[in-house]
Amino acid sequence: MPHRDLARLEALRDRFGLAAAREKTALVARLLRASLRSAREVERLHEALVFLRAYPDDARLLALVVRGLERFDRRADLRRHREAIADTGIAGTDVRFRFYQPTAARLARRYPGALWIDWEEFDAEERGATLLSQLLPWAETQSLDDERSLRERLDALRGRGEGDGAFLVRRIDALPAARDLVRHVHDELDPPLVLRASKGTPSRSRAVFDGAPRAFQARELRRERPVLAATLQEPPRSIRALAPNEARALVELAQDAMAVRARDLDAFMYADERDARLVDCGDGLAFAALGVVPEQRLLLESVYAFLTLKNGVPIGYVLASSLWNSCEVAYNVFETYRGGEAAWIYGRVLAMLRAFFAADTFQVVPYQLGHENEEGLRSGAWWFYQKLGFQPRAPEALRLVRAERARLARDPAHRSSLAVLRRLVRHDVFWSAGAPREDVLGRFPSHRLGSAVSALLAREYGAERERGVDELAVRNARRLGVRSFAGWTDGERLAWLRWAPLLALVPDLPRWSASERAALVRVVRAKGGRRESDFVRAFDAHARLRKTLCRLAGARSSV
């Protein structure tokens, strides 16, 4: 019976070896020919197959699984239950989501015939009708004086083979305004969209990067909790820059992995193909490391997104902000792959970040722990990090931790209540390879630098901020001995402008040594250069710059 075969395949998911591989192969072969009776069974089979693609026993089983996933949208039972399993990212099913502007614009460009408005969920008819007059050539605006609904108007305006969602999104994207304003216009309208399944649209079923390292699963999954101090001493096998075609494929894979899961991640949407690397951690585990384009970089810390790959299959992602030899880390494992090697892979994540940024301190923010995140709260995320050695630094949280540990000592079966967890997860937690420092992300008061910059610009330039930035950039060039910007990239020039007010706060720049001033120029150029990780390394190595910014922010420097 198919339902028995499916249950047996799920029971064998985490078992490996010759006998298990043979039985899995027989079960998959039968299930690919079978007709399943419910939408839930179709979804369960899909999840079993994508897991086996990420953790294959051998070549024969892998080939069978790949064939099944490549043809999954042709299954009669999937077509029969297509509506019931919508929004799962399975091939042949639709995805509904209020995509943020960068994601929506990309989908509209790549799949114009597949992107439509979900009119049952649309709740901004009046705002949409008002906006429409700003999205059309002047000669067309006369057509808006009739009594048609917004849906009827968009249906008349859209091109052949173009969804009404794609038309609306592309017209907003074409507004002659700053990109941040375009994003604001789209996100204020917040149109609910449907990416209809059609030939070529992305899915979880076929998502794979062919250039990733491969390894068959010959032993049980690693479920042990890593010892972070030891794990950090085990760097990745290799970190290699990607050729343009590989980088493009990985960026698209990462962006599609978010879209089919109805998620948005700016670091993937604004990924810079020039700053794409593949990190090989062995045993088929790899990370696609993607920096962001210079226009979207933050003033100080550097943001990278990492797509986690197992045998080329996306199984999760990491978002890391880095500076001050520290990293703020957001770690996510996609649902299909949870309960397996999450803790071990997290150890590999920290080792990778140490290799990239020479980080010795790692921070997890409250949302990751469960603050205003019910799924994270109930999953026990706070204790996951606590058992790895992460600790809060806030006195209130430390008192709660001590009380909970005392209860555990008295009663090993004790579990923290949701009320206690809600108090604990309000605070950042940290793990440090050495002595705790204050000049790390999560502790350094960057907002004080922003306030100081605002005070300077308000005092000297008032509302003429742009003139102020331009004048300060020229003044800093004289102070630092930059005679010409010839040979600088657009990104490097942009970084120089953005850093101009911050550098203007440093009164003794001319008294810095020639080598310190030259190194500072390299720091700023690296912020707009090809790889933002070069900026992190250069900044962290500049002791005088670090001390100066700490002094300006009223923070204690460790260098």
| pLDDT value of residue 50 | 98
Q: How many CA atoms lie within 13 A of 20 on its CB side?
A: 18
Per-residue pLDDT tens for 324-346? 999 999 999 999 999 889 999 99
Say yes or no to pLDDT of 431 above 90. Answer: yes
Percent of the chain with pLDDT strictly greater than 90: 87
Q: What is the CB-side half-sphere exposure of residue 294 using CA atoms within 13 A?
A: 21
Residue 145 scores a pLDDT above 90:
no
Residue 143 has pLDDT above 90, yes or no: no
Complete domains list, the chain, with CATH: 2-80 (no CATH), 95-195 (no CATH), 228-365+428-432 (3.40.630), 446-553 (no CATH)
The rounded percent of the chain whose pLDDT value lies above 70 is: 100
Look at residue 142 in the predicted model and tell me its pLDDT: 82
pLDDT digits (tens, 9 = 90+) for 165-179: 999 999 999 999 999
* Confidence (pLDDT) at 139: 87
Is the per-residue pLDDT at 55 higher than 90? yes
**Cβ count near 47 (within 10 Å):** 17
**What pLDDT is recorded for position 378?**
83
The residue-averaged pLDDT of 280-292 equals 97
The dihedral region occupied by 430, where left means phi > 0, alpha psi between -120 and 50, and beta the remainder, is beta
Least confidently predicted of 117-126, 144-153, 224-233, 430-439: 144-153
Interval 57-81: pLDDT, tens: 999 999 999 999 999 999 999 999 9
Which pLDDT score, from 0 to 100, does residue 187 have? 93
Taking residues 186-211, what's their average pLDDT? 95
Whether the predicted pLDDT of 292 surpasses 90: yes
> Left, alpha or beta for 87 (phi > 0: left; psi -120 to 50: alpha)?
left
Mean pLDDT computed over 422-443:
94
State yes or no: pLDDT of 433 exceeds 90: yes
Residue 1 pLDDT: 86
Strand pairing partners for 115? 195
User: How many CB atoms within 10 Å of residue 11?
Assistant: 10
Kindly indicate the confidence band of residue 413, based on its pLDDT and cuts at 50, 70 and 90: confident
When comparing pLDDT for 402 and 526, which is higher? 526
Tokens encoding 346: 């997290």
User: What mean pLDDT do residues 215-243 have?
Assistant: 94
What does pLDDT average to over the chain?
Answer: 95
The pLDDT of residue 58 is 96
Q: What is the distance between the alpha carbons of residues 99 and 59, in angstroms, rounded to a whole number?
A: 38
- What pLDDT score was predicted for residue 69? 98
How high is the pLDDT of residue 374? 87
Q: Is the pTM of this model over 0.85?
A: yes
pLDDT the model gives residue 316: 97
| Secondary structure of 266-327 as H, E, C letters | HHHHCEEEEEEEEEECCCCEEEEEEEECHHHCCCCCEEEEEEEEECCEEEEEEEEEEECCEE
